[in-house]
Chain A
């Protein structure tokens, strides 16, 4: 599974970081950094939750 963030949509409100701080990090420059682009498959449920909870629909999962 690969995490793809559409940075044109992302507005750094950090809800994804709240759900998975080891994968998503919004830094003090207000930008989102994906710390781990290929989380292991046992994290799928959390990643899908991040996709749903992102208010900007900026996160996608690619297999």
Chain B
């Protein structure tokens, strides 16, 4: 039985994992190692309440200071894991080797950047509290225009928040509609309409070919030849898992830390959250999920996994996330795919208040909701039960 646990990544998955061990009564040493200077904080408010100026940064703390002390963790902030060797069970922190007994890897992900913009003033990505405060300061300074590249969830939220602050905002998306990669075109068009009607200058189907300026950004040039003058650019083109420090560790790294269906990456090593790519038996494939709820579930699962030989159940969640844009609450449960049939089962597109089912091969695959939380949760249950398309439609017919 392992007597001590080491967790790398002091954020949502890592902290919730440590808390679960303490809740279960584990009283051995737990190290929580993170390279950010701040105590663990929550990221969703970074594109919403904190960026809007409604909340101060301290409101995002994941666990209040007084409860944190009770956890009795060896919290090492500002410390970076630099190397791992699973054969000798050695972890290097800031270059110094230390032995571990059980290791939870929860190093999350970081933003992709736009090539050629490194070090240019006025160009930002959004992942950390420091990123958020830098963008907030720039928004408060009254920029001429904010340009957001990429209308995925983070980009779309940043655009919505900035417009809410009265900043003229252009949102650029290379696909035909915002969020299209995840929700498909029909639903993406509704999201587009929400953004346009709220005053976002949304340009879809165009990419960025060049960013002009030397030290300070001056303009972006689009694939259709348009030049947009701007002094503030936020790049939201996805994230990459933080796995560089694991090269040569003996673990399999392929778009994340590859794990089995119990989140085990090697004997005594598990992974959780945005960095983990595990075999989800529900879908029979390796998946990496970049959602809040997954980190909250997988962190505890993977931490507990280190203390048992064989867990009772594999980790088989139905992925779920939410996104707040303007006064619309977007939620998606399940895994839609591009060839799914999409059907509105509740509410209407016109009032921007609806639930949609995605299905293929006679099965329900996903449920999308815009201001339809109740229906999404009921749909999530149908997904968990593996409901057929017909069964799901029958349940939805009884809503209203």
Contact = CB atoms under 8 A, between A and B. Distances in A.
A33 to B, nearest CB: 11
B329 A18 contact: no
A17 B371 CA distance: 15
B203 interface: no
Contact of B293 (A14, A15, A27, A30): A15
B400 to A, nearest CB: 9
Interface string A8-24: 00011111011000000
Contacts of B124: none
B374 A14 contact: yes
B329 A11 contact: yes
Interface of B is mostly: helix
A31 to B, nearest CB: 10
A55 B374 contact: no
A18 B381 contact: yes
Which residue, B16, B297, B322, B371, has most C-beta atoms of chain A within 10 A? B322
Interface in B274-329: 292-293, 296-297, 320, 322, 324, 329
Interface residues of A, number: 16
A28 B374 contact: yes
B296 A53 contact: yes
A48 to B, nearest CB: 8
Contact of A13 (B23, B296, B373): B373
A55 B377 contact: no
Contacts of A53: 293, 296-297
Contacts of B377: 14-15, 17-18, 26
B292 A26 contact: no
Contacts of B129: none
Nearest to A52: B296
Contacts of B188: none
Contact of B373 (A14, A48, A57): A14
Nearest to B399: A28
B44 A14 contact: no
B376 A14 contact: yes
Contacts of B16: 52
B195 interface: no
Given A13-B329, A18-B381, A55 B322 contact: yes
Contacts of A48: 23
B380 interface: yes
Interface of A: 11-15, 17-18, 26-28, 30, 48, 52-53, 55, 57
Interface of B: 16, 19, 23, 42, 44, 292-293, 296-297, 320, 322, 324, 329, 331, 371, 373-374, 376-377, 380-381
Given A14-B374, A26-B373, A30-B371, 12 more contacts: A12-B329, A12-B373, A15-B320, A15-B377, A17-B377, A18-B380, A18-B381, A26-B374, A26-B377, A28-B374, A55-B44, A55-B322
Which 7 pairs, one residue from A and one from B, show the smallest C-beta to C-beta distance? A14-B373, A18-B377, A14-B377, A26-B374, A13-B322, A13-B373, A26-B373
